[in-house]
Amino acid sequence: MNAPTGSIASYNFAYLDEQTKRMIRRAILKAIAIPGYQVPFASREMPMPYGWGTGGVQVTAAIIGPDDVLKVIDQGADDTTNAVSIRAFFQKVANVAVTTRTDEATIIQTRHRIPEQPLRAGQTLVYQVPIPEPLRFLEPRETETRLMHALEEYGLMHVKLYEDIATHGRIATTYAYPVKVEGRYVMDPSPTPKFDNPKMHMSPALQLFGAGREKRIYALPPFTQVESLDFDDHPFTVQTFDKPCALCGAEGVYLDEVILDDCGGHMFVCSDTDHCESRQGDGYHGQQEETFR
């Protein structure tokens, strides 16, 4: 099982020892059984820093098998440095197949985005979570927030959203927008833009959330109801962009702003690089392509 034989530098499959994986799997099972509930787990020190995806890495390490195909994204992109680093880690310690294609992956570990292409049954989306507690910035004490969840006492969150409306005329939370799961637990969707919240609702894929530093795991089993908190007169809305992606012309997707010069020149391109490249491969192109054609 735990096989440090011979050389000092040998590690178990997927780095974690089997006892640790079992402990994490138990936490995951409990999390799936109580959707949206934060399950404490004995998070390990990982060979990357806390806050850099150790929770997601531990969840992935606990569920990954030799036949899995792994995709890792950060900010929607496969080639951001931390995504590259985590993907290389699993190639090294688990020797699994990796991909950048959303439809080919069985496990997708993500930071801050949900892929644009709808996920299907059998896929697992693993989120890296910095602060799992949606109530943390309203009440810093864990002892208090656990009690608030237990008593389903979420008034404070509604007051916060109401205060936003009173001050700014709208709910001013743009990412890590709180959701209610199956009408029970208020959950932090991790710092994804609220644009991605609707993708969580009734998703056929399993969604797992790992917070390493804060030692919590939570989950959304497939086909779970996930509602973004709102008011009848201020319904939840997502971001919209005025222009399509400059590279692939996609509309209704999340875009990143790229600054082109120091005179205010900028353009918008897909945050999801795989989605953008696939569309370009299929012959779609945006305005930039036309200009340079």
For binding to another protein (CB under 8 A), which residues are involved? 2, 4, 11, 15, 17, 40-47, 49-52, 54, 74-77, 79-85, 88, 111-113, 130, 140-143, 168-170, 172, 174-176, 191-195, 213, 215, 239, 241, 246-247, 254-258, 260, 267, 269, 271, 273, 276, 288, 292
Considering the candidates 36, 53, 56, 76, report the single residue annotated as catalytic: 36
Choice between 142 and 182, CB closer to another protein: 142
Choice between 225 and 287, CB closer to another protein: 287
Choice between 91 and 121, CB closer to another protein: 91
Annotation says 263 is catalytic: no
Edge-to-edge strands of the sheet including 179-181? 185-187, 179-181, 226-228
Choice between 11 and 284, CB closer to another protein: 11
- For the CB of residue 59, give the shortest distance to another protein in the complex, in Å: 15
- For the CB of residue 71, give the shortest distance to another protein in the complex, in Å: 15
Contacts 24+ apart (CB under 8 A), 266-270: 268/241, 268/243, 268/244, 269/245, 270/76, 270/116, 270/245
- For the CB of residue 50, give the shortest distance to another protein in the complex, in Å: 3
Q: How many residues does the chain have?
A: 293
Q: Which residue blocks in the chain are alpha helix, DSSP H? A: 18-33, 54-63, 81-94, 142-150, 155-168, 197-200, 273-281, 287-292
- For the CB of residue 149, give the shortest distance to another protein in the complex, in Å: 14
Choice between 131 and 156, CB closer to another protein: 131
Considering the candidates 53, 76, 212, 276, report the single residue annotated as catalytic: 276
Considering the candidates 53, 76, 212, 245, report the single residue annotated as catalytic: 245
Annotation says 245 is catalytic: yes
Annotation says 276 is catalytic: yes
Other Cβ atoms closer than 10 A to 284: 16
- For the CB of residue 122, give the shortest distance to another protein in the complex, in Å: 26
For residue 52, which of 107, 108, 126, 128 has the smallest C-alpha distance? 128
Considering the candidates 56, 248, 249, 286, report the single residue annotated as catalytic: 248
> Which string of DSSP letters, residue by residue, matches 124-189?
EEEEE-S---TTTTT---HHHHHHHHHTT--HHHHHHHHHHHHHHSS----BS--EEETTTEEE--
With a CB cutoff of 8 Å and minimum separation 6, the contacts of 252 are: none
Q: Which residues are catalytic?
A: 36, 245, 248, 270, 276
